[in-house]
Amino acid sequence: MTHEHTQRLHATAQTMVAPPRGILAADESPGTMSQRLQGVGVEPSPTARRDYREMLLTTPGLAESVSGVILADETFNQELSDGRSVPQACQDAGVLAGIKVDTGAKPLAFTPGETVTEGLDGLRDRLKDYAARGAAFAKWRAALALDTQLPSERAVLVNAHALARYAALCQEAGIVPIVEPELLMDGDHGLERCAQATSYVLEAVFGQLRAQGVDLAGIVLKPNMVVAGLACPQQPSAQEVAEATLAVLRAHVPDDVPGIAFLSGGQRPEVATANLAAIAVQDTPWKITFSFGRALVDPALRAWAGDPARWQDGQGALDERVRANAGVLAA
């Protein structure tokens, strides 16, 4: 990579994580988005999905709290009702356009209950095309089940390997990769077990990123917070989550990574914000921010519910959540 190319990647990564802004994950696949729409009584269709994303994207003042929006391929290729392309609308709104490039978590051979995230085939050409059409960054999510036995060494290895291959291809194309290894919150595991598994996963991921020549100053890490499983009877306080999360990250995330943008992973919106606040108040070598999906958009989806008359209610609900999260980030 030329010096200029590298500098551009670094600058984009810094923009993505500079406080007080975070990243809006609005990249649900058409299947998942359809289910979410049905959940609030909206008949799913490409237009309904477009309308919902248009409501989010055109929220007044979005760029004050949001640096970038992660889009699904369908959305990236759509036009808003006024005829602007979605990447153009992102630019007009003052936010970077991001693109989810993995094609989903698929069952992994010989490992019941575990998955490997796919999408490497043809990725170099797809990235080139997305970059030409305005994508500044990309996302790839590895989803790892967590219990007393899982994730298996095999699932961690193949997912870390794929994340690093994706990240290298992104950087080659001039796109900043969001590297997202997610330990799922399903189950009754405690905080300690999540800490142990997150350490193991991050060690494997950074091992692969280094082995494959990825420039760590040109990525954004999107990890899970260290939390207890949703079914665990003992739910930790925000202070406990922050301490456990930072202990793990300090031990495994190199200082040259510019920023850490947490996923919400199914935490209730207010809980995710409280945990983020407790983390962000600490001194860290990397910027701390959010890249929440559900914790930002669920209230907006419910407030809008497909009703044109409630368009502003939806935008107000999104505005409330993005400002609440931006408000806790260190200035």
Q: Measured between alpha carbons, how far is 122 from 253 in angstroms, rounded to an integer?
A: 30
Q: Measured between alpha carbons, how far is 182 from 159 in angstroms, rounded to an integer?
A: 10
Q: Spell out a b/e string for 59-90, using b for 16 or more CB atoms within 10 Å of the CB, else e.
A: beebbebbbbbbbbbbbbebebeeeebbbebb
Question: In the set 170, 197, 263, 301, which binds ligand 13P (CB under 6 A)?
Answer: 263
Question: In the set 242, 295, 328, 329, which binds ligand 13P (CB under 6 A)?
Answer: 295
Residue 106, φ and ψ in degrees, nearest 5: -115, 150
Task: Determine the interface stretch with ligand 13P among 51-59, 167-175, 210-218, 259-267 (rule: CB under 6 A).
Answer: 259-267
Provide the H-helix boundaries in 66-152: 73-76, 86-93, 123-132
Q: Which is nearer to ligand 13P, 293 or 306 (CB)?
A: 293
CB of 264 to ligand 13P, least distance (A): 3
* Position with the least CB separation from ligand 13P: 293
Sign of CA dihedral 317, 321, 324, 326: negative
Q: Measured between alpha carbons, how far is 77 from 233 in angstroms, rounded to an integer?
A: 44
Catalytic-labelled residue, pool 54, 180, 182, 243:
180
Q: Which is nearer to ligand 13P, 84 or 104 (CB)?
A: 104
Q: Measured between alpha carbons, how far is 289 from 326 in angstroms, rounded to an integer?
A: 8
Residue 245 binds ligand 13P (CB under 6 A): no
CB of 83 to ligand 13P, least distance (A): 28
Question: In the set 177, 293, 299, 306, which binds ligand 13P (CB under 6 A)?
Answer: 293
Question: In the set 21, 126, 287, 294, which binds ligand 13P (CB under 6 A)?
Answer: 294
Q: Which is nearer to ligand 13P, 51 or 180 (CB)?
A: 180
Beta-carbon contacts of 231 under 8 Å, excluding residues fewer than 6 positions away, are 186, 187, 188
Residue window 171-210: x/- pattern of binding to ligand 13P, with contact defined by CB under 6 A? ---------x------------------------------
Catalytic-labelled residue, pool 28, 54, 100, 222:
222
- Is residue 222 annotated as a catalytic residue, yes or no? yes
Residue 227 binds ligand 13P (CB under 6 A): no
Q: Measured between alpha carbons, how far is 185 from 227 in angstroms, rounded to an integer?
A: 8
Q: How many CA atoms lie within 13 A of 192 on its CB side?
A: 2
Are the CB atoms for 228 and 271 separated by under 8 Å? no
Question: In the set 9, 16, 17, 25, which binds ligand 13P (CB under 6 A)?
Answer: 25
Task: Determine the interface stretch with ligand 13P among 162-170, 199-207, 257-265, 299-307 (rule: CB under 6 A).
Answer: 257-265
Site for ligand 13P in 108-147 (CB under 6 A): 141
Provide the H-helix boundaries in the chain: 3-17, 30-39, 46-57, 62-65, 73-76, 86-93, 123-132, 153-172, 191-211, 238-252, 269-280, 294-304, 311-326
CB of 116 to ligand 13P, least distance (A): 15
- Is residue 79 annotated as a catalytic residue, yes or no? no
Considering CB under 6 A, how many residues would be counted as binding ligand 13P? 10
Residue 265 binds ligand 13P (CB under 6 A): yes
Question: In the set 115, 208, 245, 264, which binds ligand 13P (CB under 6 A)?
Answer: 264
For 157, the 3-state DSSP assignment is helix
Q: Which is nearer to ligand 13P, 161 or 321 (CB)?
A: 321
Which stretches of the chain bind ligand 13P, using CB under 6 A?
Answer: 25, 141, 180, 263-265, 292-295
Q: Which residues are catalytic, by number?
A: 180, 222
